[in-house]
A = this chain, B = another copy of it.
């Protein structure tokens, strides 16, 4: 039979006799034949591929995000090209060479602040772009409200009665302009202001990302003249560092000092860390759906539909575990050690 007929059969196209199709499929099965996606793409246009640009694949947050994205994209039968853009040089190289060019229908930047120059380079690719975990004025995105998450953490401390509260923030040399920072910091400032607490500059540290750095910052803070009764840390992995400092000093948590983080990292549950949960995997899934929307939009050119839902903010929630209590730690007020088991 003819080539075209076979092609139609394999693609479930219209206008083909069920019998013929069945025959084709059977033969294909017998020969273990599958169409070449590359050749198909060449003829049809549109790779079913999207590029994933991710800074630190070996950190939980990014891994979970990728897992979420992969899950729904795989289901939609689109492939993922992984570009690990770790350090600054990697980053430069990526945007200079644009290795994903002509290879994908879309790119997802994962928790990755895109600068103006970089945006210009990306535009060159001529494909849709979505940002996962980090808002963007230019692209469809999904993220949490970092300010709100921060407020949930701090307000919790304030409500417990803490007045002397430290903050450990972090920056990442590899991620200049990481957007979560400012929101989480502003939350601290505002919350204290609203509670009538003067901003304790001597209790604020801004470290390079990493648990050991956070531990050092915690040490530094505790060495101060008037140490805090509670510490707000920008993320759980940093909080774990702070916690190790506390343990090393044989300070009791939460009796001597309370500790709250953000993220709900798997290890947070393990050590009973009070934190603000963000659904990372779900964000990934949503990002993937944004991608699929974009692809459909491109295919059908229906610009007037759903062009507003391109910005999704998912909710966060305080998870109270065992590292927070009123100052001095009233045992009665102390929550269960492991809340969800």
Contact code string A62-90 (vs B, CB < 8 Å = 1, else 0) = 11101100110010010111111010000
A271 at the interface (CB under 8 A from B): yes
Closest Cβ neighbor of A265 among chain B residues? B267
A5 at the interface (CB under 8 A from B): no
Residues of B within 8 A of A79 (CB): 81, 99-100, 103
Residues of B within 8 A of A71 (CB): 84
Tell me if B47 and A70 are in contact (CB < 8 A): no
Considering the chains assembled together, what is the distance between the CA atoms of A341 and B219 in angstroms? 14
A3 at the interface (CB under 8 A from B): no
Q: Known: A38-B103, A270-B211, A341-B212. Is A57-B63 also a contact (CB below 8 A)?
A: yes
Tell me if A64 and B74 are in contact (CB < 8 A): no
Interface-side segment among A183-191, A193-201, A240-248: A240-248
Residues of B within 8 A of A56 (CB): 67
Contact of A70 among B37, B38, B63, B84 (CB under 8 A): B84
Query: Which interface residue of A80, A124, A211, A267 has the most chain B CB atoms within 10 A?
Result: A267
Considering the chains assembled together, what is the distance between the CA atoms of A281 and B281 in angstroms? 24
Residues of B within 8 A of A37 (CB): 102-103
Contact code string A28-45 (vs B, CB < 8 Å = 1, else 0) = 000010111111011000
Contact of A63 among B59, B124, B211, B272 (CB under 8 A): B59
A290 at the interface (CB under 8 A from B): no
Tell me if A241 and B215 are in contact (CB < 8 A): no
Considering the chains assembled together, what is the distance between the CA atoms of A34 and B97 in angstroms? 10
Considering the chains assembled together, what is the distance between the CA atoms of A80 and B83 in angstroms? 8
Tell me if B77 and A80 are in contact (CB < 8 A): no
Tell me if A64 and B70 are in contact (CB < 8 A): no
Integer count of this chain's copies in the complex: 2
Tell me if A124 and B38 are in contact (CB < 8 A): no
A52 at the interface (CB under 8 A from B): yes
Nearest chain B CB to A323 CB, angstrom units: 12
Considering the chains assembled together, what is the distance between the CA atoms of A32 and B127 in angstroms? 15
Tell me if A70 and B82 are in contact (CB < 8 A): yes
Closest Cβ neighbor of A341 among chain B residues? B212
Tell me if A82 and B38 are in contact (CB < 8 A): no
A269 at the interface (CB under 8 A from B): yes
A337 at the interface (CB under 8 A from B): yes
Considering the chains assembled together, what is the distance between the CA atoms of A341 and B248 in angstroms? 15
User: Which 7 A-B residue pairs are closest in the complex by CB-CB distance?
Assistant: A58-B63, A70-B84, A58-B64, A211-B270, A80-B82, A82-B82, A63-B63
Interface CB pairs A-B, < 8 A, 18: A35-B102, A36-B102, A38-B102, A42-B42, A57-B70, A58-B67, A60-B63, A63-B63, A67-B86, A71-B84, A79-B81, A80-B81, A212-B270, A212-B341, A215-B270, A240-B267, A244-B272, A247-B271
